[in-house]
Structure 1
Amino acid sequence: MKTTFKQFNFLFFILFVIVITGCGKDDEKEEIPMISISDSEYHEYQKYIDKNLYDVECLGYKVKEANPLVLTRITTNITNVDFSGLKNNHLYLRSVQFDTLYRNDYSKWKTVIEWEDTEITTKEQKMYLGYGDYKNFTIDHVEPRFLSTNGMNFTANLMLSYSNAGVSVLIFKHQESIKRIATNYLEVINWYQGSLLTRSSQSLTDNLCCYSAKGDTIYTSSTSKSLPDANAIPVSYEESISVDNYFVHNYDLTITKYNWKEGKQVWSVKVVSPYNEPSNSKYTSTLLDKSTNIWKYKVDIVYYDGTKKDFMFTVNVNDGKVINL
C-alpha cells in the first residue's frame, strides 16, 4: 500500500532528546511491519473514525493483514487497522481487527488493544539539538509505525510527526507497568522471545539496540549497521539463522549464522544439491522443523527451461554442519 506520510529526514541531527511536558521518559537509552494507509483507504475508514475516534486529534493510522505471510485461496481477509493520536493531551492507541466481508459493519470490528497514556503529551513540543540549542515544533499527527501485541501487553513505536520530520516514542506495556523511551526516528522489528531490535536510520551513531518486552536494554551494538531482513530467524537475542538465495555470477543457496551484537558472521555454508543442475537454476527453501538444534529444510529447484526438482537437508544451527537427506 502506498504511504501518505512524508519521509523523515534528520540531516541536521547531532544529539536528540525529546522533552514532553510532565511526561516521564528515559533519555539514557535509545516496531515487515505495517504500511501507511492510502488516501482511498482513508475515505474507506472515515465513517469508523467519525463514529469512534472523533475526539482523537493528530490521528495517524496503518493497515495490515493479520497474517500477511500466509497466502490462501479463501474469499475473506482478516485486516488489522492501528490508530494513534492525542486524546485530551494524552497519547492514544487503538488496534481493531475485522473480516473484510464486514468492512462496513462496525459492530463486528473487534478492538484488540485500546490504550490511553496517563502522562501529558501536548501538541507543542521542544527538541534538544545539542550544544545548548533547541527546536520547537507542533505535532501534525501521531503515526503507529510498529505495534506488537501479546494479550493485553504490547510494544509500540509511535512517531510524533511534524513538517518533514518526526521523532519516536517507544511504548512498552507489560501488565500494569508502562515504560516510554523517547528517541529519534527508529526502525523496529520483532525479535527473540518477544524482544525488539531497533535501529535509527538517521542517527550519526546508527546504534542497534535490543530491548526486552518490558523495555529493558539487553544490549547495544555500534558494529551492526542494519537490521535483520525477513529471512533471519532468531535463535537467541544476539544470533539468527538465515537461508539466502542470491545472484552474483550464478544462483547459490547459502545458510548463515550471524551475530548482531558483534556484527559478524559466526559461520556461512553453501548448500549443495544432489543434482547436477545448471548454474542459473533458482532455489526456494522452506523450513520444515526447528524444534531442536537440527533444523530441517526442503529446497525446490527450478531450471531455466522450467524443469523442477526438490531435495531436503538438515543443518546443525550450533556448528553449521549440513547433511543432505
Structure 2
Amino acid sequence: MRNLLFKVCTVVLGSVLLLSSCDKDHWDEQQGDCFYGYKVENRNVFDLRSITHCPYNQDTAFLTGIKNEKHWIGMFDQQTKKQLQEWNGSETIDREIKIDRGYGEIETMRLSAFHFESDIHKTSWGFVMIPYYTERGSNWGIGMLEAGGYARDILLLNGDKLIVYPLNNPGIVQPHWFQESIVVSSYEYGGEGIDYTVLSPDGKKVVDMKDRPQNWLVEEKNIFPVSYTDGIGLRDWRRDAERCDIRIYRNNYAISETVWETPIPSLLNIKGDARFNITVLEQGNPIWKYRIDVTNRDGSKQQVLFTVNVETGALTEI
C-alpha cells in the first residue's frame, strides 16, 4: 500500500513539474528574449511580463520593468547592447491602481508594466520622466506595440537612486529650474485647476506655485529662474494684428504676480511675425546681459544687446 501511494504521489508530482515546465517553455518560446537582446547583468526576481523597451536616442535605450515588486530601469548602449547603468526603486509598487475618470467614475487597473513616451528629460544630476502604467492581458507578447497607458507619478533618476514622487495626472513643466530643481504640474478632476510644484533633485517638495513658469515670446526653456519662485522672461505686447512691442519681465509664480516689466527700446513696434533667439550672455548679481537675435519674414535681421537689473528691472541697451 505504501509503495502504491508513493508511486501515485510520484506520478502526480511529476505531472505537476512537467506542466510547470511546459508552461515555462511555452512562455519562453512565445516571448523569445524578454530583454530584447540587451545584456541585463542581473536577471533574477523580474516579472518578465513587465519588461518594456523604451528607445531614447540613436545611441541609448532604456528597459523598464518590475523587479522584486519595485520599479526597475536599465540604460543600455544601442550598438553593443551592454548595460550602462541601472536604477532600482526602494518602494513596493501598488499593483492595484484606482483611476479617477471624472463624472464620479473610478476604474481599477491591475498594473502589469510601465513605460516612457516623450517625457524623458536629461538633467545635470540624471533624468526625470513620467511613467505610463499599463495592464497586460494573457495574450500580450514581446514585440507587440504598446502606447498610451495611465500617466501617474514623477520618476527622478539621481545618481544611482530611483525616486518616485507620487502625483496624479503629472506633467514636467521645467526640467531645468533654480539650483537644479524641476517644476512639475498635476491636477485632480473636480479640483480648482492645475497645481505647480518645485521639486529638489532628491524628490522633495520645495514650494508650491499658483502659475506656470513660461516664456510668452518663445519656447518655455527661455524662462530663466532667479529663485525657486521667480523667473525672467520676455513677452510680446501687441499693438495690433501686425505690430508689437517686446518687453522683459520678472514674475513671482508662487503668488502669480509680475514683479516688474520693462520695454526694450530697440524692440518697439516691430513686426509681429518675427522670430527670436534669446541668449543670456552673463548672469551677475544683480546685472544680467542679454543678446536677442531677430529674424523677420523677409530675411532681414536685427541684433539687440542690453543689460538688465533683475532686482529692479532697470534696462540699458549696449
SS at match of 1:241: strand
> Which structure has the highest helix share of the two?
2
Asked if 1:243 corresponds to 2:234, the answer is yes
Q: 1:180 to 1:284 in 2, by over 3 A?
A: closer
Structure 1 unaligned regions, length at least 5: 1-45, 66-77
SS at match of 1:210: strand
1:1-325 paired onto structure 2 within 5 Å? 49-52=36-39, 56-60=48-52, 62-64=54-56, 79-96=59-76, 103-107=78-82, 111=84, 113-121=85-93, 124-127=95-98, 135-144=107-116, 145-146=119-120, 148=122, 156-162=129-135, 165-171=149-155, 180-188=164-172, 189-190=174-175, 191-201=177-187, 203=189, 204-205=191-192, 206-221=194-209, 223-224=210-211, 226-228=212-214, 229-244=220-235, 249=241, 250-273=243-266, 282-325=275-318
**What is the aligned-residue RMSD (CA, Å)?**
3.8
Deviation of 1:315 (Å): 1.1
Q: Deviations over 1:135-183 (max 9, x none)?
A: 43122531244455555x6655433235965142334566797754323
Deviation of 1:62 (Å): 4.4
Q: Max radius of gyration: which structure?
A: 2
Deviation of 1:304 (Å): 4.4
* TM-score normalised by L of structure 2: 0.64
Number of residue equivalences: 255
SS at match of 1:310: strand
SS at match of 1:320: coil
Q: 1:231 to 1:201 in 2, by over 3 A?
A: farther
Aligned-pair identity (%)? 18
How far apart in 2 are the matches of 1:306 and 1:120? 57
8 Å Cα contact 2:195-2:208 kept in structure 1: yes
What is the one-letter code of the residue matched to 1:240? G
How far apart in 1 are the matches of 2:81 and 2:163? 32
Q: Deviations over 1:97-133 (max 9, x none)?
A: x5xxxx43335xx61x4112243326x3142759x99
How far apart in 1 are the matches of 2:302 and 2:53? 44
Q: Deviations over 1:29-72 (max 9, x none)?
A: xxxxxxxxxxxxxxxxx99733335855434454455xxxxxxx
How far apart in 2 are the matches of 1:179 and 1:305? 49
8 Å Cα contact 2:244-2:268 kept in structure 1: no
How far apart in 2 are the matches of 1:252 and 1:59? 52
How far apart in 2 are the matches of 1:275 and 1:150? 37
Q: Bigger CA drift: 313-322 or 210-219?
A: 210-219
Instruction: Indicate the structure whose relative CO is greater, using CA pairs within 8 Å and at least 6 residues apart.
Output: 1
